[in-house]
Amino acid sequence: MTTKPGLRGWVSEPLVATALVLAALAAVFAAWAGWSWYRASAAGPPQDAQLRDQVLQAGEQAVQNFNTLDYRKVAAGLALWEQSSTGPLHTEIMAGRAQFERQIARTKTITTARILDGALTALNARAGTARIIAAVQITVTPASGSPVTKQSRLAGTLTRTPSGWKLSALGQVPVGAASPASGKGSSGG
């Protein structure tokens, strides 16, 4: 192969060799940068970060729904509870609904809630489950008398359903020497 000395001599020229190496490095850099730019712009925020924010928002809304009830609009309020729940919590609400309606009609209370702060303590995207804790300020206004405000520590479990993330358990975190709250229990309100 004496036909290629020209090419070989060419590349062995220090100037060309240097330029070739630099161009190759620039090509690698450009490819990497282009790829990362494509990834960043096509994906937007990482999917898992988006999911976390979305689940937390859904969870906080559901917790608030469960701590809101107006005796003048019981049906609508309980319908919202049903919509915001799934699994065991949903079953519990359905079972206790009639009794609850009678009870709230008698006490004539208006309960409102404000989420002071909330955070997910776990998120399993594959299983479609998450755990949430929320600091909630609950105001109960009785038929007569002044409103009573209390702060409440709530823990819940969220489960993914075809119509979004819903609470499958919600309860007060118990005070005491007991082990950390398991997050199950009855609804607030």
Partner 1 sequence: MADKNVKSAEAAEDREEATAAAATDDQQSAENTQGAKDTQGAKDTQGAKDTQGAEDTQGAEDTQAARETEPGRRRAWRAAAALGAATVVLGAFGAWATVHANSERNSAAAQNTALTDGPATAAVRREVAATVNTIFSYNYANTGATRRAAQGLLTGPAVRQYDTLFALVTKNAPAQKLIVTTRVTNTGVEMLNGDRARLLVFANQQDTRAGTGQTSYAGAMFAVTARHQGGRWKIENIDTFSG
Shortest Cβ 71–partner 1 spacing (Å): 27
Any bridge partners for residue 113, and if so which?
A: 138
Joined together, the tokens standing for residue 172 give 């007060």
Helix axes 74-84, 47-66, angle to 10 degrees: 150
Please provide the distance, in angstroms rounded to a whole number, between the alpha carbons at the two ends of the chain.
89
* Minimum gap (Å) between residue 104 Cβ and partner 1: 26
CB of 20 to partner 1, least distance (A): 6
User: Residue 151 carries which side chain, given as an amino acid letter?
Assistant: Q
Shortest separation between residue 114's beta carbon and partner 1, angstroms: 10
Our finding on whether 148 is near partner 1 (CB under 8 A) is: no
For position 37 contacting partner 1 by CB under 8 A, the verdict is yes
x/- string (CB under 8 A) for partner 1, residues 60-99?
A: ----------------------------------------
Say which residues have a Cβ less than 8 Å from residue 74's Cβ, sequence separation at least 6: 101, 104, 105
Selected range binding partner 1 among 16-24, 67-75, 78-86, 96-104, rule: CB under 8 A: 16-24
Q: How far is the CB of 63 from partner 1 (least distance, A)?
A: 12
Q: DSSP assignment, residue 177?
A: S
Query: For residues 104 and 134, which CB has a smaller minimum distance to partner 1 in the complex?
Result: 134
Q: List Cβ neighbours of 179 (8 Å cut-off, separation of 6 or more).
A: none
The DSSP bridge partners found for residue 110 are 70, 141
> For partner 1, which residue of 63, 155, 169, 170 counts as binding (CB under 8 A)?
155
